[in-house]
Amino acid sequence: MNDINNLNLKGKLCLFADDMSLVVEAKDYNQLNSHLNSDLIKISQWLKDNKLVLNYKKCYFMVMGNPRVGSVSHIRPTINNNFIINKVFNTEVN
């Protein structure tokens, strides 16, 4: 199962217990969107190949940095071409 680290991703995976985070850096928001969705396709395929199921209710994304107004509105990370990941502004757990 540790072969997920062998995926050729643009971003970096942070693995802990049965959770993971994907951190993607980019020079602009178009590149960010492209790299993010490319990595999500690879991760989705890996999950499918390993007969694992993703908990869609726990999938969120957050943009860090100093985004200009409206510049991140076109970022639409998707999983399996149909589930759009929801944007959050913090990781606070209720």
- Terminal-to-terminal C-alpha distance of the chain: 31
Q: In the block, which residue shows the tokens 């995976």?
A: 13
Residue 53 near residue 47, CB atoms below 8 Å: yes
Please report the pLDDT score of residue 71 as a whole number: 66
Report yes or no on 94 lying in a domain.
no
Report yes or no on 4 lying in a domain.
no
Please report the pLDDT score of residue 22 as a whole number: 93
Report yes or no on 41 lying in a domain.
yes
Residues in the chain: 94
Tell me the two tokens of residue 25. 């850096």
Report yes or no on 93 lying in a domain.
no
Report yes or no on 1 lying in a domain.
no
Report yes or no on 44 lying in a domain.
yes
- Characterize the bridge pairing of strands 19-23 and 12-16: antiparallel
Domain that holds residue 66: 11-87
Q: Quickly list DSSP for 74-88.
A: T---EETTTEEPEE-
Which ranges in 4-54 belong to alpha helices (H)? 29-49
What is the pTM assigned to this prediction? 0.83
Report yes or no on 74 lying in a domain.
yes
Report yes or no on 5 lying in a domain.
no
Has residue 70 got a pLDDT over 60? no
| Tens digit of each residue's pLDDT (9 = 90 or more) over 7-37 | 999 999 999 888 889 999 988 888 888 999 9
Q: Domain total for the chain?
A: 1
In the predicted model, what is the mean pLDDT of the chain? 84
